[in-house]
Structure 1
Amino acid sequence: MANYSSTLGAGDQVPAFEVLSPDEHSVPFVFNSPHSGRAYLSSFLQSSRLDTTQIRQSEDAFVDLLIKDVEHLGAPVLKANFPRAYIDVNREAYELDPKMFEGKLPKHINSRSLRVAGGLGTIARIVGERREIYHTRIPAEEGLDRIERVYKPYHNTLRGLLNNVQDKFGLAVLVDCHSMPSANSNKNHDPKADFVIGDRFGTSCSAWLSSCAVGLLQNMGYNVALNRPYAGGYITENYGRPERGIHALQVEINRALYMDEHAHQPHSGFHDLRKDLMEFLTALVEMVTETFTRETLAAE
C-alpha cells in the first residue's frame, strides 16, 4: 500500500488508505468512507492555487470519524486518507479531462462523462463553489501514477473485502458513507434532507434494504430522502449486484448536523450524530443478519 508524506507533520508517513478490522468478522457488511481523507501531500498543495481551507471544501469531512466505531459491530471499515481533491475513487478509473494534462493520456479514457464536464472527474479540476485547483496543467504521467498507486489498490482492497464477506456469509452489504453540503436545497423548497439514501433507483441493492434504512432513520426523527438528489456514485453502481447477493447502499449525511461548514470543524452536534449513526447502523445490521438470507434479499 502506498505511503506518502502528508502535511500532518514533518516527516509523517501515512498510508493512502486503511482498513479498520474487527476482532471477529461476524456480520455480512463492509463500510466505506472514500471521501473523508485529509492527508494532503505538500507537493499537491504546492501545485494548487487554493489555500489549505479552500481545498478542503470537497471533503466529506469527518465521516470516517462518525462511523469508525462500526468495526465493533463485526464489520471492516475501509477509509481513505488521501483527499478527494487528489484523486476520486468514486469515479471510473479513467474519467479524465485531457485539457487538464500535459502529455499523452491513454486512448481508453472517458473524457465525455458528465462528471468530467463538471470538473469532477477521477482527478478533479475544481472543488466547492467551482474553485479551480491547479495553477497549470498536470503532467500526464503524474495523473496516471495516482491511478496506479492509489485508485487501483483502493478498489482492489474494497473488492477483496466484499468477496471475503460473500464467501463467508453468502451475502455482502456495502454501506458507502458520504456527506453533503447543507446549502443544496431542492427545487420545491421542501425541508433539506438530513439523510439521503441512494440505491441507484432500486438497482444496487434490495428494495427491502433501502426501505429499512429510510424507515429506521425516519423513526429516529430525521428527514430522509431516497435517491434525490443523490442516487449513488460509481462505487454504489459498480459494486451493487443484488442478483448476485452483493448489495450496495449509499448514505449521504447533511454536514450541518455535525459541523460548522465555514470553519470546517465539528460542532456540538457531532457526538449526538455519531451516537445516532451507531444506533441506526446497529439496527440495520441486526435486521439483515438476523432475518434475511442471500436468497431472500436477491429475490426482492
Structure 2
Amino acid sequence: MYQAFEFRQGKLPLLISMPHTGTWLTDAVAAGLTEEALKLQDTDWHMPRLYDFAEAMGASLLMANYSRYVVDLNRPADDQPLYQTATTGLFPDINFDGTPLFRDGLAPSKEEHDRYLEMIWKPYHQQIERELSRLRDEFGYALLFDAHSIRSEVPRLFEGRLPDFNLGTNSGESCAPDMQSALVAACDAQQQFSHVLNGRFKGGYITRCFGRPEQHWHAVQLELAQLNYMSEDYPFGFEADTAQPTQALIQQLLQAMLNWAVGHYRK
C-alpha cells in the first residue's frame, strides 16, 4: 500500500507543498537505479527541516514521501513539457545532468508507471485540491507556496550559477499582481541573497494548475539554490548556520503573502 504523502493541517489560509522532498523508492525503481542514482542527487533535501518554522506559524504542510525518481509530482499527468529548455519528465529516466538513472533494461514498466500515477501522483494533487478548497471555504481565499530547491550549478539546465531565490508565478498568471509585487519587495529589502522573478523557473505544474487567482487561489513557487542551506556534495548535509538567514527570508516571503491577502480581502 502506498502512503503518498505526509500532511499536517494548520490554522492559516496557507498551504506549503513540498513535492520533491521524498526519498522512498518502490521495489522496481530501487532494483533498477544505477549506483550513482541511488544517491538521489536531485532530491529537494532537508526541506521539512528548512521549513520547520512554518508549522509553528500555522501553515498547513504537504510533504511527498516518494522520490521524484519514482514519479515527479510537479509534472502533468500527460507528461507534456513545461519548459522549452532541458528538463526531466513525469517518470524521469535521466538525472538533471543528463546521465541515465536506470541500468539497461531495468527501468520500471508501463504497468508500474500507471500504478505510480494512480497511487502516488493523484493522491498528492487531490490533497492539494481538498486543502485549498477547505481554506477558501473558511477564509474566502487560499495561498499555496510550492517549495523547491536545486543545486546552484546545473549546466544542462541553466548557464552559470542560479540566483539564490527564484520566484515563479507562471509569468504572473498564478497569483494576484500585488501579491507578486509584495514578494519581490521582500527580496529587494535585503542584500544578502540574489533573487529573480520568473527566470529559469517560472513555476512547475503545481503552481500552474492550482494558481487560480480568479477563484481566490494564489500560488507561488520558490526554487532555492541549495548552497544557501546545505552542502551540494554527497551526502548532502544540512548546514544550520548557513540555513538560518535563508529561513528568515523564506518566513518573510510567507508573511508577505499572508499580509497581502489580509489587506486585500478585508477591503
In 2: Cα distance, 1:34 partner to 1:184 partner = 20
Q: Structure 1 residue 284: deviation in Å? A: 1.9
Equivalent position SS for 1:260: coil
Q: With CA pairs under 8 Å and 6+ residues apart, which has the higher RCO, 1 or 2?
A: 2
What is the one-letter code of the residue matched to 1:79?
M
**1:47 and 2:19 are equivalent in the alignment:** no
In 1: Cα distance, 2:178 partner to 2:87 partner = 35
1:61-103 CA-partner distances (Å, limit 9, x unpaired): 11222113312222211011111111101111131xxxxxxxx
Does the C-alpha gap of structure 1 residues 73 and 30 become closer, same or farther in structure 2, counting only changes over 3 Å? same
Q: Structure 1 residue 152: deviation in Å? A: 0.5
Equivalent position SS for 2:170: coil
In 2: Cα distance, 1:161 partner to 1:266 partner = 30
What is the TM-score normalised by the length of structure 2?
Answer: 0.88
**1:78 and 2:62 are equivalent in the alignment:** yes
Does the C-alpha gap of structure 1 residues 129 and 227 become closer, same or farther in structure 2, counting only changes over 3 Å? same
Question: Counterparts of 1:73-222 in structure 2 under 5 Å?
Answer: 73-95=57-79, 110=80, 113=81, 120-135=88-103, 136=105, 137-184=107-154, 192-221=162-191, 222=193
Q: Structure 1 residue 29: deviation in Å? A: 1.1
Q: Is the 1:119–1:126 contact (alpha carbons within 8 Å) kept by the matching residues of 2?
A: no
Q: Structure 1 residue 271: deviation in Å? A: 4.0
In 2: Cα distance, 1:283 partner to 1:211 partner = 13
What is the TM-score normalised by the length of structure 1?
Answer: 0.79
Aligned residue number for residue 253 of structure 1? 224
Which stretches of structure 1, 4 residues or longer, exceed 4 Å deviation after superposition? 114-119, 184-187
Which 5+ residue runs of structure 1 have no aligned equivalent? 4-14, 96-109
Aligned length: 261
Aligned residue number for residue 197 of structure 2? 226
In 2: Cα distance, 1:116 partner to 1:228 partner = 13
Which 5+ residue runs of structure 2 have no aligned equivalent? none
Q: Which protein is bigger by CA-based radius of gyration? A: 1
Percent identical across equivalent pairs?
A: 27
In 1: Cα distance, 2:31 partner to 2:258 partner = 47
Aligned residue number for residue 265 of structure 1? 237
What is the one-letter code of the residue matched to 1:193?
P
In 2: Cα distance, 1:52 partner to 1:40 partner = 12
Q: Is the 2:143–2:257 contact (alpha carbons within 8 Å) kept by the matching residues of 1?
A: no
Aligned residue number for residue 9 of structure 2? 21
